[in-house]
Amino acid sequence: MPSKLYGEQSAIIAEQYGFADKVKPLIKSRYDHTPLAFIHTYGCQQNVSDSEKLKGWLEYIGFGFCDEPDNADLVLFNTCAVREHAEARVFGNIGALKKFKKARPDMLICLCGCMPQQNEISEKVKRSYPYVDIVFGTGLRHKFPELLYKKLIQDKRVFDNTLDAEIYEGIPVKRDGTFKTWLPIMQGCNNFCTYCVVPYVRGREHSRAPEAVVAEAKELIKAGAKEIMLLGQNVNSYGKGEEHGVDFADLLKMVNDLEGEFRLRFMTSHPRDCTEKLLKAMRDCDKVCKCLHLPVQSGSDRVLAEMNRHYDTTHYLSLIDKARELMPDIEFTSDIIVGFPGERRDDFEKTLELVKRVKYRALFTFIFSPRRNTPAEKMEDPVPKQEKSAWFTELLKVQDEIAKEHEKTLIGKTVCVLCEEENDGIVSGKDEAGANISFHGTADMIGKFQNVVIEDVSSGIMGKIKEN
């Protein structure tokens, strides 16, 4: 089935607008004031982007928004299941809502996202958290109005974790920021890395039509976007299996060619699918930041095979070298898992070696967390937690030294900063590689690009405005 164009409404979404219209008067009569919603998003940018759509529905229905649950009439937690720690935090936060619900029984409590997509979690919430009203997974976020309607009409708790991984265009969006924006180009994942829960909670991979992506990018630029992050679990496989024949490198060029002053980023790139064509497209696209997030996960080929990553370190390093050959100033960031089941000290040392060889600008490091129903959950895992923690600390130390050395080389260089905030005359924002840069400036710079000469890296990276 061809994907929908941006803004085009399917019958399913048209039906949801119908439900939203029916919910409006019910909400209006439920509260004697403009109802307020508090949304808390856990986890990755994909979730942040999903929450912008859930907020879009709530705004359409007539909700305003607040920053704390204290006075909220509706609380929505959009959850993450990638690691156990994230789940534990969500349960803690749901527990804390009990007192609000007791004081204000009209409050609506909703839980959605990757956690309740799993039956076990959904059942646990049903059993142990009776004050949670609406529970649904990532697979039904487009049907939020219908679920709200059911709750309000039947006055019964609503649980539905059907997984519909289809892409739906035409959902209203309330964007969190005007100048820093997310643009999902696909959803789901087909990779089944053995440690990862994502393919189970987000379903199979589907790409949006290129026209839909370009039309949304145009709208974002018109509305003042200065940075667009193209999002997908594996953007390098964009367009696979679609009739349009546009791959990710082509799509990048299409968005890059749009008129306007903006910066383009993308994540996440899977090393198996990262092609020379893409690296060349990065080089040729003037708006694409020369920074590649290329998660390696491990520096040991044995562990990579166990992880089902479909590449080895030779392939990974050849990508790094190729990218550096094409773009000498390119910087890299990566994700690494420490303590995968069966990982030995010699495997871990290979990870350290790889990290020293690549010299990443930044690393996102995680200790392996067993996820239910994934193959790695059942693998033998003899290394004690304390040892894994010690390896983890060792990796952080190595990366810290690399980052410090790298920062020293920045002194005297000019970087382009997209200014994000101002406090007491200090403006801070991100450079092309996503590193935080601060300098003396004024609040009117927020949302604009500023060339900054780096002066000091002793505590954070400080610079001064470059005079023309």
**Residues that bind ligand SAH in the complex, under the rule CB under 6 A:** 82-83, 195-196, 198, 233-234, 268, 270, 295, 297, 335, 337, 366, 368-369, 371
How many CA atoms does the CB half-sphere of 258 hold within 13 Å?
25
**What is the rounded CA–CA span in Å between residue 65 and residue 39?**
8
Residue 236 as a binder of ligand SF4 (CB under 6 A): the answer is no
Is the distance from CB of 231 to CB of 46 less than 8 angstroms? yes
361 is in the binding site of which of ligand SF4, ligand SAH, none (Cβ under 5 to 8 A by kind)? Answer: none
Stretch binding ligand SF4 (CB under 6 A), from 49-57, 65-73, 193-201, 428-436: 193-201
For 437, counting Cβ atoms within 10 Å of its Cβ (0-12 exposed, 13-18 middle, 19+ buried), the class is: buried
For 369, counting Cβ atoms within 10 Å of its Cβ (0-12 exposed, 13-18 middle, 19+ buried), the class is: middle
Question: Among residues 81 and 173, whose Cβ is nearest to ligand SAH?
Answer: 81
Residue 201 as a binder of ligand SF4 (CB under 6 A): the answer is no
Residue 189 as a binder of ligand SF4 (CB under 6 A): the answer is yes
The binding track of 147-186 with respect to ligand SF4, each residue x by CB under 6 A or -, is: ----------------------------------------
Residue 191 as a binder of ligand SF4 (CB under 6 A): the answer is yes
* Nearest Cα to Cα of residue 183 among 262, 300, 120, 88: 262
Residue 81 as a binder of ligand SF4 (CB under 6 A): the answer is no
Residue 256 as a binder of ligand SF4 (CB under 6 A): the answer is no
**What is the rounded CA–CA span in Å between residue 186 and residue 288?**
19
In whole angstroms, how close is the CB of 39 to ligand SF4 at the nearest point? Answer: 23
**What is the rounded CA–CA span in Å between residue 405 and residue 248?**
34
- Would you give the DSSP letter of residue 391? H
In whole angstroms, how close is the CB of 449 to ligand SAH at the nearest point? Answer: 28
Are β-strands 449-456 and 362-367 bridged in parallel, bridged antiparallel, or unpaired? unpaired
Q: Which of 152, 196, 288, 338 binds ligand SF4 (CB under 6 A)?
A: 196
Q: Which of 69, 145, 170, 199 binds ligand SF4 (CB under 6 A)?
A: 199
In this structure, the number of other CB atoms found within 10 A of the CB of residue 154 comes to: 9
Q: What are the residues binding ligand SF4 (CB under 6 A)? A: 189, 191-193, 196, 198-199, 233-234, 270
